[in-house]
Amino acid sequence: MDIKEIIDYLKAYDGKKLKIMEVCGTHTAAIFKNGIRSLISDRIKLISGPGCPVCVTPTAYIDRCIEYASKENHTLLTFGDMMKVPGEKGSLSEVKGNGNVNIQIMYSPFEAIDKAKANPDITYVIAAVGFETTAPAYALMIKEARREGIENIKLVTALKKAIPALQWICENQEDVDGFICPGHVSVITGSRVYEPLARCYNKPFVVAGFEAEHILAAIYRIVRQLESGEAKAENLYKNAVKQSGNEKAVEVMEYAFEEGPAMWRGLGIIEDSGLYLTGPFSRYDGGSRDLYEDMELPSECRCGDVIVGRMNPDQCPMFGKKCSPMNPFGPCMVSSEGACGIWYRNVH
């Protein structure tokens, strides 16, 4: 079936109303960029999922990062997308503006190795946030730090596994009919990990790339599966995603990290969804466990509903009014992968 036939089919669809969740922010952005909603029937609703790691990070994590940045002889290294996420005492960006903190933007976690060697009196604390996509890089970096005998590096981790969150959604959001699986995460985990979910919850899980035709093909396969009463995992992104994933990346990740409970904003604590330094690497951990506290967001803020696709961002009463990328109230508006930020840039 060519792409025109797929679009014709999806546009003409007039069956049962469906909710399809695109789990990762890169898919959300691609859906807007390519006007995918205008190419499919109104009866197929696309909703965003919890696939933005910054958006699901609780405020206690930001507060821990600020503590380190304020400590004498400590420097916090972070990717830029964490800077505006609000914590109890403000965002990293705000405290940096007020002075007396040491925060540097990094472009790769490996920068910490050179910095730590050049400045042995300073402890470099890395804000390590991400999913399976980024966890292997942190694992390799800390392995290298240990090999070189570097002691002045610490990681505060908010590294999470996507599959337990998908399971949480299947358990708690029965109205989601099918999933477009996160493409980048699937490169690491492989497509096989979705098979038990599809079987257990009787829902289609389709791995897709980020081009318009990839996403449309994934929606088509989900709709067709639902129409024929099927529920299976399919991989439409075979040039990047193997069934077994990137085994070397998984191996290094499992060597450096162990699973434990983690707090997901909007979802709560999910068992075995967090990755924490383990074994000989534990001494590099900067207190990453038990960061469960989440600040009360303003009562009108609907981040918790947006993160799990119960609500579109523009249904939040603060969207585009009190909350915008220049003045974000919730993390979903801050990150380039966050649903509110993506909606703001595209519909406002």
Binding positions for ligand SF4, rule: CB under 6 A: 301-303, 306, 313, 316, 318-319, 323, 329-330, 332-333, 340
**Least Å from the CB of residue 301 to ligand SF4:** 4
d(CA 255, CA 347): 44
Report the nearest approach of ligand SF4 to the CB of residue 208 (Å): 25
In the bound state with ligand SF4, the residue whose beta carbon lies nearer, of 237 and 329, is 329
Question: Taking Cα atoms as reference points, which of 47, 80, 68, 179 lies closest to residue 123?
Answer: 68
Nearer of residues 17 and 348 to ligand SF4, judged by Cβ: 348
Task: Provide the minimum distance between the beta carbon of 57 and ligand SF4 in the complex, in angstroms, as a whole number.
Answer: 13
Q: Which is nearer to ligand SF4, 260 or 268 (CB)?
A: 268
Three-state SS string across the chain, please?
CCHHHHHHHHHHCCCCCEEEEEEEHHHHHHHHHCCHHHHCCCCEEEEEEEECCCCCCCHHHHHHHHHHHHCCCEEEEECHHHCCCCECCECHHHHHHHCCCCEEECCCCCHHHHHHHHCCCCEEEEEEEECCCCHHHHHHHHHHHHHCCCCCEEEEEEEECHHHHHHHHHHHCCCCCEEEECHHHHHHHCCCCHHHHHHHHCCCEEECCCCHHHHHHHHHHHHHHHHCCCCCEEECCCCCCCCCCCHHHHHHHHHHEEEEEEEECCCEEEEEEEEEECHHHHHHECCCCCCCCCCCCCCCCCHHHHHCCCCCHHHCCCECCCEECCECCCHHHCCCCCHHHHHHHHHC
Position with the least CB separation from ligand SF4: 330
CB of 103 to ligand SF4, least distance (A): 23
State which residue, 251 or 300, has the beta carbon closest to ligand SF4: 300
CB of 318 to ligand SF4, least distance (A): 4
Output 252 or 340, the one with its CB closest to ligand SF4.
Answer: 340
Nearer to ligand SF4 by C-beta: 51 or 245? Answer: 51
Q: Provide, rounded to whole angstroms, the least separation between the CB of residue 265 and ligand SF4.
A: 10
Closer residue to ligand SF4 (CB): 291 or 303: 303
Residue 155 CB, shortest distance to ligand SF4, in Å, is 27
> Which residue lies nearer to ligand SF4 by CB, 42 or 300?
300
Contact in structure between 70 and 95 (CB atoms under 8 Å): yes
Least distance in angstroms from the C-beta of 217 to ligand SF4: 30
